[in-house]
Amino acid sequence: MRYFLEISYKGTAYEGFQVQPGKDTIQGSFNLVLSRILNREIRTTGAGRTDAGVHALQSFLHFDHDSDLPENFLYRINKMLPAEMAAKRLIRVADSAHARYDALSRAYSYRIHFEKNPFLSGLSYYYPYPAPDVDAMKKALPLFRNFDDYAMLSKFNPDNKSTLCRVTRAELINDPENKNLEFRVEANRFLHNMVRRMTGALLAIGRHALSSDQLRESLDKKIPLPVNETAPPEGLYLTRVFYPFIENDKT
């Protein structure tokens, strides 16, 4: 029997999601806890591989188990997990369902704050410069929906068979009163560092170190940006993963 487990986590103290020998990872923690509860080795498969320091408000992993699960299963998982992780929902799915390959789309949020706040450390990117030109940043947003090849806004990965991504949502939520900014983006798939480089490009446009025309030319002609920055990991959140067989509040 196959189960999907909806999870959330704060990635500040971890070396990313994927299991790595000798390192503390999100997946490693869930594998360990599930194996202890079920008295057998459990190897989970995740919806994605977030980097070190990146967070998830919602993600999923799947695992197989041949008998009924113990009572109070979620309670037992949460009691044993580190404080930075939570199991939120357990869903019985078809044996062929796959947490990574069956996802229709994923949504990310990148959070930025402009006033130093120790209580946001590790949970949002403190931008230690004058606030950017948000209007200029917003004017560049349609470019992300008009182009499909994101080779120039991602980290090269020889394993990638394609650099095509279909971005269906790209918006900026500006809160000048509280001095913060949030970039929200949704696509059918994302490449390595893609959201962080999209954010870096927007911030460069916001401080007038890069123009929308230069971003358009880069995406259109597949040439490197003259200013190619990767926003730091602490501001990035995986916020939603959408599957055809799981109800989800699409916000």
* Residues with catalytic function: 51
Sorted by sequence, the CB contacts under 8 Å of residue 100 that are 6+ apart come out as 45, 46, 47, 48
On whether the CB atoms of residues 198 and 151 are closer than 8 A, the answer is no
